[in-house]
Structure 1
Amino acid sequence: MPGIQPPLPQSGSRPFVTDGGLETWLVFQQGIDLPCFAAVPLVSATEGRAVLEKYYRPYFELARRYRTGIVLDAPTWRANRDWGEKLGYAPRELFELNRAALAFVARLGREEGGSSGIPVALNGVVGPRGDGYRVESLMSAAEAQDYHGLQVAAFADGGADMVSAVTMTHVDEAVGIALAAKAFGLPAVISFTVETDGRLPSGDDLGAAVAEVDRRTDAYPAYYMVNCAHPSHFEHVLEAGAAWLDRIGGLRANASAKSHAELDAATELDAGDPQALARDYALLRSRLKHLCVVGGCCGTDHRHVAAICDACLV
């Protein structure tokens, strides 16, 4: 309704929950083949939607249990033009698929959140143009804004509450997505991934990357996240008292402490230790005073996120 603000996580006093590693859950725990590691085609089939519902529903239960909201991600991390072309989608088909993916999670949000009063932030997810573990397809910020505009336009048309750029490997692409979101009037979240040394795959320092995106977008992102890395990879760069830490609002860590190269070559799931991961989150939360979203990434599922909620939301 006009004038009604969506329930965004940064506006609350208690962190929202979000999901874990969708694609690794589908591949390793459900035995589903994902061409190009893309989950979005599942939205087009009844059987696929049923599997996705099975994945998402436990996270609503966590939101109910811990009396908080949920950032509900559309399964669109690999639904941009290049990946879409590899999957056989023309641009217009891809636009409609992104819109359908958002509509799918919106329906789930109404079913699961509406009756129990769970605040649901409907999130359009934008992934990197290239690989999430390596710097590929380098673009200027202007090129990235134009390239990713198709997805952002679909999310805006479908009624998204926010847009998140996830697993960003370099600054220019992150800037472009933030500007695309701004052009469509959607709150933006930028989530960087890092290597075992705590630096972006581009070699950039995490704090410097956050500051550069803020500088070039007039601090448009609502907050930043770190995802697709184990806490042991970046804990040492989150120096207590650093001003840029106030801009970190979300954590979505991997279950495994292995490097990106090791995970890329893995044939079996490394689910790590949910309790140990939760302890890492509790330590990091003591440094991140504006943490507003907790969830997981590769190798995690609702068990890991439940342990994280126990450590951070009780």
Structure 2
Amino acid sequence: MSKYRDRLPLLEDRPFMTDGGLETSLIFHHGIELPHFASYDLLKTEGGSALIERHYERFTILARKHEVGIVLATPTWRASRDWGRKLGYSDIALADANRRAVDQLAKFRCKWESPTTPIVIVGTIGPRGDGYQVDLRMNADEAQDYHKEQINSLAATQVDMVGGFTLNYIDEAIGMVRAAKAAEVPISISFTLETDGRLHSGDTLQRAVERTDAATAGYASFFMINCAHPSHFERTLQSGGDWLQRIRGVRANASRRSHAELDEAEELDDGNPLEFGQETAALRRFLRRFNIAGGCCGTDHRHADELWKAIKRGNAKPAQQ
């Protein structure tokens, strides 16, 4: 059974750290080959499982240091049908991989959770297509039908909620939320933005949040932004509006480069951890509900530490809207 599914502490405004860029850390810091960025494939071996667990440990130790909760996401971003088949997974094996990822985190929580550092387990769902471009576009019904398999598998485990990450067009988000509602599991939706602060589809973030809510009766627990540098979307947040109160989390990229530039990069651009921390913390000026903060591609424990130092210094208090 899930520990927090019926009373998500993420909705209580207490601060939560997230882990950082798992896949980029595995590839560039550990020299691991990850076909299709499918980190869950490492769970087939003890060595691979240990690598992923050490990733979680580094961030949990930091969360304890800063006396905040932590949101740990399963390494299942590519554990949906199309991507699994590219790696030779049958539907049964893929469902087992999703369960195995949650089981690892459930055991980890029993070992590491403390009164000052509650651990929330999120079952990660990625896009059907490329996270950096709209190369495969579904309508909402098709998206619901596609993602329900993975969501149903995760809903039957100890996850506290599921989370759709790096979504770049609205209909896929709507389909994910509808599938989560049918499975009776909480869901968050995280959009990825280009350097102009818009989704790759051209939609504004405001339109994406409002359309998703309108089409799903506001079922999503909250929205997030991930896989974009704070400088890419700060101006978007300055526009104001009630829709901003639906955004609780940011998992920003370390690099200021565009997604196209990152796709072509052969070396990791981990940016400047100090600047990353300050600029991400500064987003609290525009996001009144911003209580979930961490990193995405290119980030590691250094970025998380600087981010939470900046937040604790209080040099960027939430705006009163």
Partners of 1:2 and 1:222 lie apart in 2 by: 16
Match in the other structure for 1:192? 191
**Is residue 86 from structure 1 mapped to residue 89 from structure 2 by the alignment?**
no
Q: Deviations 1:46-104 (Å, cap 9, x if unpaired)?
A: 01011111111011112211212111110001111111000110111101111111111
**Counterpart residue identity of residue 226, structure 2:** N
Match in the other structure for 1:42? 42
Match in the other structure for 1:56? 56
Match in the other structure for 2:69? 69
TM-score scaled by structure 1? Answer: 0.96
Match in the other structure for 1:220? 219
TM-score scaled by structure 2? Answer: 0.94
Partners of 1:57 and 1:313 lie apart in 2 by: 21
State the shift of 1:312 in Å.
Answer: 1.4
Partners of 2:68 and 2:50 lie apart in 1 by: 25
Partners of 2:257 and 2:153 lie apart in 1 by: 35
**Counterpart residue identity of residue 301, structure 1:** D
Partners of 2:3 and 2:64 lie apart in 1 by: 26
Partners of 2:21 and 2:73 lie apart in 1 by: 11
8 Å CA contact retained: 1:72, 1:109: no
Question: Matched residues, percent identical?
Answer: 49
Partners of 2:10 and 2:32 lie apart in 1 by: 34
8 Å CA contact retained: 2:132, 2:168: yes
Equivalent residues in 2 for 1:262-273 (5 A)? 262-273=261-272
**Counterpart residue identity of residue 266, structure 2:** T
Moved more, 144-153 or 237-246: 237-246
Task: Find runs of 4+ consecutive structure 1 residues off by over 4 angstroms.
Answer: 1-7
Partners of 2:160 and 2:185 lie apart in 1 by: 7
8 Å CA contact retained: 2:72, 2:119: yes
Partners of 2:259 and 2:4 lie apart in 1 by: 41
State the shift of 1:4 in Å.
Answer: 6.9
Unaligned residue ranges in structure 2 (runs of 5+)? 314-321
Match in the other structure for 1:121? 120
Equivalent residues in 2 for 1:1-314 (5 A)? 8-113=8-113, 118-239=117-238, 241-314=240-313
8 Å CA contact retained: 2:144, 2:176: yes
Partners of 1:228 and 1:11 lie apart in 2 by: 22
State the shift of 1:11 in Å.
Answer: 2.7
Q: Deviations 1:155-179 (Å, cap 9, x if unpaired)?
A: 1111211010000010000001111
**Counterpart residue identity of residue 274, structure 1:** P
Unaligned residue ranges in structure 1 (runs of 5+)? none
8 Å CA contact retained: 2:95, 2:153: yes
Residue aligned with 1:270, SS: coil
Q: Do the aligned partners of residues 166 and 4 (structure 1) sit closer, same or farther apart at CA in structure 2, a change above 3 Å counting?
A: closer
8 Å CA contact retained: 1:256, 1:271: yes
**Counterpart residue identity of residue 300, structure 1:** T
Partners of 1:27 and 1:232 lie apart in 2 by: 25
8 Å CA contact retained: 1:9, 1:15: no
Residue aligned with 1:17, SS: strand
